[in-house]
């Protein structure tokens, strides 16, 4: 996810600690309608008496999506996967001393080998991802959905809160709103001048929601649908058949 301020600043990689820290500290103030999306995810996690005992967080960052799931499934175990050491370090700081519920795995979703780094265990009840999968190209997204399908147990749910490609009058609105949010937050803090919200624009590879739903169905999922959409922001979900 990215937006430009026109100040000519160069892009930084997620592996750099200052970039990870900058985004994580401003995540809630930058991202449009984040609270609305999190509330909807909470409904999806609890509706119908769904039980989450074991989950995997793909591109976990500092574990924000896992923390959301834990609030509604406090007894769940989680495996966090990310390729950024600074992000995983922040996840460790968020959760503190592990009580055995949490495992962090250094893995790059761009390479199918990430699966081999996972700890042994029962199938997952939930695979969740927040603002990560759009970094993959189309073919890797298709392959990843197949990999996730194999990791889930029967009835397991896949939820992906991400940005998608749009081609219409709302194109670009997501990054425009991020810039507006950055200016508002800076103004409230008494800061003036250009505000940097550019993180990884050269690595963005969003695909349309329609294409991704098709790839989920190809992988074997059912109930594949768009649960939420606002400009480029979307929550896509699907369920592994029983």
Nearest to 59 by CA among 135, 116, 113: 135
Please tell me the predicted confidence (pLDDT) of residue 203: 75
In a domain, 5, yes or no: no
In a domain, 6, yes or no: no
Please tell me the predicted confidence (pLDDT) of residue 194: 46
Nearest to 18 by CA among 89, 86, 64: 86
**Domain count within the chain:** 1
In a domain, 136, yes or no: yes
Range of the domain at 83: 17-173+199-239
**H or E stretch including 108?**
none
- 10-residue block means of pLDDT along the chain (242 residues)? 39 46 65 95 93 96 94 94 90 79 94 96 97 96 98 98 97 93 76 52 86 98 98 98 95
- Identify whether the C-beta of residue 219 lies closer than 8 Å to the C-beta of residue 145: yes
In a domain, 75, yes or no: yes
Please tell me the predicted confidence (pLDDT) of residue 186: 75
In a domain, 46, yes or no: yes
pLDDT in tens, 81-96: 999 888 898 888 888 8
Count of beta carbons in the 10 Å neighbourhood of residue 142? 18
Q: What does pTM read for this prediction?
A: 0.85
In a domain, 12, yes or no: no
Please give the share of the chain, as a percent, with pLDDT higher than 90: 67
Domain containing 165 — which CATH number? 3.40.50.150
In a domain, 135, yes or no: yes
In a domain, 190, yes or no: no
Please tell me the predicted confidence (pLDDT) of residue 183: 87
- Identify whether the C-beta of residue 139 lies closer than 8 Å to the C-beta of residue 212: no
Please tell me the predicted confidence (pLDDT) of residue 174: 94
Please tell me the predicted confidence (pLDDT) of residue 93: 87
């Amino acid at each position: 996810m990215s937006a430009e301020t026109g100040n000519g600043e160069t892009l930084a990689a997620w592996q750099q600690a200052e970039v990870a820290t900058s985004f994580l500290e401003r995540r809630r103030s930058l991202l449009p309608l984040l609270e609305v999306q999190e509330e909807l995810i909470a409904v999806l996690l609890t509706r119908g008496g769904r039980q989450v005992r074991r989950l995997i967080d793909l591109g976990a960052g500092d574990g924000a999506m896992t923390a959301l799931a834990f609030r509604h499934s406090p007894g769940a175990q989680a495996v966090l996967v990310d390729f950024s050491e600074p992000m995983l370090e922040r996840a460790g700081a968020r959760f503190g001393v592990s009580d055995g519920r949490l495992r962090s795995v250094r893995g790059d979703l761009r390479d199918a080998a990430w699966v081999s780094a996972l700890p042994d265990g029962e199938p997952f009840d939930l695979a969740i991802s927040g603002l990560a999968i759009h970094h993959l190209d189309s073919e890797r997204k298709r392959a990843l959905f197949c990999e996730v399908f194999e990791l889930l147990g029967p009835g397991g749910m896949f939820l992906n809160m991400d940005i998608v490609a749009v081609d219409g009058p709302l194109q670009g609105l997501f990054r425009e709103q991020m810039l507006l949010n950055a200016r508002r937050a800076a103004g409230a803090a008494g800061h003036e001048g250009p505000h940097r919200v550019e993180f990884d624009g050269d690595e963005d590879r969003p695909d349309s929601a329609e294409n991704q739903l098709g790839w989920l169905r190809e992988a074997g999922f059912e109930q594949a649908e768009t649960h939420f959409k606002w400009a480029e922001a979307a929550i896509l979900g699907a369920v592994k058949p029983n």
